[in-house]
Chain A
Amino acid sequence: MTRTLSAPVTVAFDYTRSTGPVIGRFLTGLRDGQVVGGRTSEGAVVVPPPEFDPVTHEPITDFVEVAPVGTVTSWTWVPEPVKGQPFDRPFAFVLVRLDGADAPLLHALDVSSPDEVSTGMRVQVRWREERVGSITDIECFEVATESGPTGVEAIGDNPVTGVIVPVSLDYLYAASPEESAFYRGLNEGRILGQRCPTCEKVYVPPRSACPTDGTPTSEEVEVSQTGTITTFCIVNVPFLGQKITPPYVSAYVLLDGADIAVLHLILGVPAAEVRMGMRVEAVWKPREEWTYSLENIDHFEPTGEPDADYDTYKHHL
């Protein structure tokens, strides 16, 4: 069987951004129902304002309110919107030069077909009711009306100084063929390494490319479920995303028959009594809980044997 194992993994975090005085001014304006541009050293009004002048490189400090109405300078149709876009129905992205500005702003235009968009058409801001200091405080642009956009009241007194930008990435994590053999072994209660054909070191897990000589490991070697703690740390610190409640011992365990240690959890002994050289063995989870993971081994615990002599593992530190 050569098929590799894979599993989904999501990496998500709510990053924050300090806006600084320029972008902060722009976002404060949006929250309060104003579109604010910045005047450059050459006199052009740019929306959103650039943080630094393109010619003099000095900070932009001259802010100008522009009209919430403008002219489309270019556009593209979005027939199949994807997650995170302004609408879940077809819409247009437009470049709008607002009246009073010299450079266009990118935003969405709410129309139902590409036949309703044209360069040169007049459009206006549609304000969102709940405005927080974000580019999405402009819900979208819409076709300009005789009466113009509906005005809104200012919301807050404090300037906007920061925004939250959630990022979420969905990956399919694929194990290599060599690693897949290792994880399948764990599903059978075995710890499988492979010997590198060049340097003859036994890697656990096996590698697609031995880090020393680049050769894929090949010859399968079942290693012992007993080994030696080479070194370790006691984790006393809690942190975001942590899976194990501290304090816990995270240790490098050099399994008998392997030439590289695996990182695992030590239990069955007070943390303060864990030692370099301590002999430990794998303690498996109940069989019905096994998957294709190193987590099938719940932890390692002391065997009660005498500690290994330092000389037997010192070259693994």
Chain B
Amino acid sequence: MAKQPAAVVGVGQTHHRAKREDVSMAGLCREAIDRALADANMTFDDIDAVVVGKAPDLFEGVMMPELFLAESLGAAGKPLLRVHTAGSVGGSTAIVASSLVQAGVHKRVLTVAYEKQSESNAMWALSVPLPFNMPVHAGAGGYFAPHVRSYIRRSEAPTHVGAIVAAKDRQNALKNPYAHLKNPDTTVESVLASQMLWDPIRYDETCPSSDGACALVIVSEDVAAASPNPAWIHGTVMRSEATTAAERDQVNPQASRDAAAALWKQAGITNPLEEIDAAEIYVPFSWFEPMWLESLGFAELGGGWKLSESGATAMDGKIPVNCSGGVLSSNPIGASGMLRFGEAALQVRGAAGEHQVDGVRRALGHAYGGGSQFFAMWVVGAEKPSN
């Protein structure tokens, strides 16, 4: 039986900041949820089920968010599910929520993802020394920097491309009222002049540490009829693979390539560069923009950096990437994937405000997590899907 059509009719997010000491975790989630419900013109009473996602447990010291947040999320008396896929969790959570609608189980599903990075230390949580092993791990930057170096070598990219991406996303963030970083003075030169943290990754080429949440309301075809601008879900895909394996491609993982191929097929897309009008891609370190452009098929192998360098990924470019400012400008890890999915929905709904790209018909939302081993992606469109 074919999937039933589903659409995003409500998007909400918090003002992302380094520290949101004014709210509890529940209050942070509610800030996003209340905006999403208002956007959908609904109340908690309309909601059939709630799906929650958050960052890995050690990041916040919260093992069971579904237990302690149930009442605040309005889930009492309703199904409540928790999703867990490391940094891609925001994307996977949205996909689980959409699948409940596409399967015909529920008509109106609320989904929320959050993180309060200020209440813990992700760098510490990613680097806990294990017995018998060499304590050379150094957080996410330490993990990904060698693979960025591999990409630069493999693609023969000039070393300033990472700075071009970082400067672009920081400038885009100035147009997003919810973005964490607001650095109007960031330029390619200032990024290149920033401290080298995990060589070859510079300080300004890394994401910030943010508190924030994102929420979506996903509904069935008949419910979406009441919305003036639903973002129809044209395809969803998740893939995973082992963190380490002999001869595993760490720059362009098999799971990423397979996920992209499956996604484009589902959405009826044969040439993503021509057929996708805006993309929100999970780029926590600037070099991941060209890396994922290749893996996703927007560019040929070795050509991702040429797209980024040419300005094609800028807001007025051929394929605008991360008009919201992206992960490089706001990174509440647990919510970052859902923010990508939600920003893609805002673009096709024409509701992105100052960072809206004109005439977006189809947009990509993308998230990855772990050691580039979890992938979650969706395509949303302004038209109801025909397949």
Contacts and interface: CB of A to CB of B under 8 A. Distances in A.
B199 interface: yes
A51 to B, nearest CB: 5
Given A16-B118, A236-B198, A239-B127, A54 B76 contact: yes
Contacts of B138: 233, 235, 237, 239, 242, 250
A276 B149 contact: yes
Interface residues of B, number: 65
Contact of B58 (A11, A242, A264, A316): A11
Nearest to A298: B134
Nearest to B26: A51
B268 interface: no
Contact of B133 (A59, A212, A271, A294): A294
Contact of A259 (B123, B125, B246): B246
A18 B23 contact: yes
B302 interface: no
A252 B76 CA distance: 49
Contact of A11 (B21, B128, B149): B128
Contacts of B197: 236-237
Given A13-B120, A211-B242, A212-B246, A233 B146 contact: yes
Nearest to B202: A236
B118 to A, nearest CB: 7
Interface in B114-146: 116, 118-121, 123-125, 127-139, 141-142, 145-146
A260 B245 CA distance: 7
A244 interface: yes
Nearest 8 pairs of A and B residues by beta carbon? A233-B145, A20-B24, A211-B242, A234-B199, A7-B131, A211-B245, A201-B246, A317-B150
A150 to B, nearest CB: 32
Nearest to A260: B246
> Interface size for chain A: under 10, 10 to 19, 20 to 34, or 35 or more residues?
35 or more
Contacts of B131: 6-9, 173, 175, 293
B136 A263 contact: yes
Contacts of B190: none
Is the contact region of chain A dominated by helix, strand, or loop, or is it mixed? mixed
Given A179-B132, A237-B198, A252-B146, A165 B61 contact: yes
Interface of A: 5-9, 11, 13, 15-23, 50-52, 54, 57, 59, 161-162, 165, 167, 173, 175, 179, 183, 196, 199, 201-203, 210-212, 230-237, 239-244, 248, 250-252, 259-260, 262-265, 271, 276, 292-295, 297, 310, 314-317
Given A239-B138, A265-B136, A292-B132, A250 B146 contact: yes
8 contacts: A179-B132, A211-B244, A211-B248, A233-B141, A237-B138, A239-B138, A244-B135, A293-B133
Nearest to A276: B153
Nearest to B126: A239
A317 B60 contact: no
B338 interface: no
B27 interface: yes
Contacts of B109: none
Nearest to A259: B246
Contacts of A165: 61
B24 A51 contact: yes
A19 B139 CA distance: 28
Nearest to B144: A233
B246 A317 contact: no
B146 A242 contact: no
B130 A294 contact: no
Given A234-B198, A237-B138, 14 more contacts: A13-B61, A18-B25, A59-B27, A201-B246, A210-B245, A211-B244, A232-B146, A233-B199, A241-B127, A252-B146, A262-B134, A265-B134, A294-B133, A317-B153
A285 to B, nearest CB: 12
Contacts of A239: 121, 123-124, 127, 138-139
